[in-house]
Amino acid sequence: MRDIDHFIGGQTVVGTSGRYGDVFDPNTGQVQARVQLASAAEVDAAIANAAAAQPGWAAINPQRRARVMFEFKRLVERDMERLAELLSSEHGKVIADSKGDIQRGLEVIEFACGIPHLLKGEYTMGAGPGIDVYSMRVPLGVGAGITPFNFPGMIPMWMFGVAIACGNTFVLKPSERDSSLPVELGKLMMEAGAPPGVLNVVHGDKEAVDAILASPIVRAVSFVGSSDIAHHVYATGTSTGKRVQAMGGAKNHAIVLPDADMEQVVADLSGAAFGSAGERCMALPVVVPVGERTAATLREMMVPAMAALRVGVSSDKDAHYGPVINGAHRSRVEDYIQMGIDEGAELVVDGRGFQLQGHEQGFFIGPSLFDQVKPTMRSYQDEIFGPVLQIVRAETLAEAAALPSQHQYGNGVAIFTRNGGAARDFAATVEVGMVGINVPIPVPLAYHSFGGWKRSGFGDHNQHGPEGVRFWTKVKTVTQRWPTGGHELPRGSEDGGPSRVVDSSFVIPTMK
């Protein structure tokens, strides 16, 4: 059985804590590797390597740092097939989803390649008599990222891509459930030309997280995970003087108006609710049809669409989605399905007990559909994070729009309609951070920023885009005045030659 080692200071490092976590093959249910869980001392060693590398990395001009990012992007694209297969083997998502995971991360790397422009400050000449004022964005120092299992490629690149381009060095603590890909990304960053220590990957559990939060050297922490842990990371990190962005859970809604293109809605829901087995913070697990006729039509069309979904192993090119991450998570999702039944919702399609021939021990769940779900139900209030779609009926648009606005999570929402005025008003007033109009998964492109409201996001800055640059840098403003007495600048003389310098100690160098 293979071990997944740490990557510290530009090289693979065998852990010394003696603690390990199991990494499963979700397709078979078998343990395929064990990941080393770092002690606080090992985390501190990774942080020390990052701290040692940071001054030199920050001193490299932004254009050269951008060239490293360009080369990193090329290397990841070169190895896309291998990396996607590795990701799928530990996560369970189908290869196409794994490639999409990596590609969306690379889009942030592409954005980070423009760092020379993004770091430009402001300048005011003549702010006062002989006084100029200018600002600059400077790196914070050592940054850290704590990332979830559901996007082991994209979310780490969202974090370290911008952080490293800005001149920081980075310690990544990925999920211990699927840790191999982040290590490969660390190796490729070194191959791209980043000095040792610029990107470090250390595996672990709560002990590693607590060590990152306690370290006085780490100046900023980016986190994605459940809301309870996000709140803990934010509260703990900020209490020790760190800058923290912590993204939490979600319960995204799809509002469907009577004039919507229902065939498109059903197709979009089939992918957005069940793709990647629902293990996405931007999934659409709740659909709110407005009016009884809309609800009846939607339900009637969703049932055969769900029956047509192919659940298969991650290497099956025809599969729409694969298994969930492990047996514990499968049990959690199935418990929520039973909860919905107990609460009085109507289970229209039951995905429990799904088995794939030849892979009976794999962590598979079929798609499930609930109707008559009420906002008071806990199964509606909580994030299920599995292939479960809930129908919550509403009589009016106002009633439907109130649901995402009043929910504890405010990550994403979508509205399906042909009515531009209704969509515009909805987008302007709904209390949610990211809105899709006839777009089921409104994840912003890399040059915009990703982030939710309420218990979906803690902190003042969103992920990647201009907000990412602001998060990973601090502003320094310089007010300058130079002595002007005792010399004259050369000016053109009557014969076209330079004028005489009054003060011989003032010499303007000749450009050669």
Residue 448 three-state SS: coil
Token representation of residue 3: 């071990």
* 3-state per-residue secondary structure call for 304-344: HHHHCCCECCCCCCCCCECCCCCHHHHHHHHHHHHHHHHHC
CA nearest 438: which of 313, 256, 295, 282? 256
First to last CA, the chain: 64
In the set 189, 247, 281, 432, the catalytic residue is 281
Query: Residues 311, 354: contact at Cβ < 8 Å?
Result: yes
Half-sphere exposure of 497 (CA within 13 A, CB side): 3
DSSP symbols for 148-185: -SS-TTHHHHHHHHHHHHTT-EEEEE--TTS-HHHHHH
Token representation of residue 492: 């053109």
Buried-exposed string 204-239: b where 16+ CB fall within 10 A, e elsewhere: beeebbbbbbebeebbbbbbbbebebbebbbebbbe
Dihedral angle computed from the Cα positions of residues 458, 461, 465 and 466, in that order, rounded to the nearest 10 degrees: 170
Q: Where are the alpha helices (DSSP H) in 319-464?
A: 327-343, 378-381, 397-406, 420-429
Q: What share of the chain is helix, strand, coil (3-state, %, to 5)?
A: 40, 25, 40
CA nearest 46: which of 267, 254, 196, 207? 196
Other C-beta atoms closer than 10 Å to the C-beta of 374 total 13
Dihedral angle computed from the Cα positions of residues 43, 44, 48 and 50, in that order, rounded to the nearest 10 degrees: 30
Query: Residues 92, 363: contact at Cβ < 8 Å?
Result: yes
Q: Strands (DSSP E) along 411-472, which ranges?
A: 412-416, 434-437, 453-454, 457-458
Residue 430 three-state SS: coil
Residues 6+ apart with CB under 8 A from 198: 50, 53, 57, 164, 169, 170, 189, 190
**Type of residue numbered 440:** P
CA nearest 88: which of 32, 5, 22, 12? 32
Is 166 labeled as catalytic in the residue annotation? no
d(CA 452, CA 409): 8
For the annotated catalytic residues, the residue numbers are 281
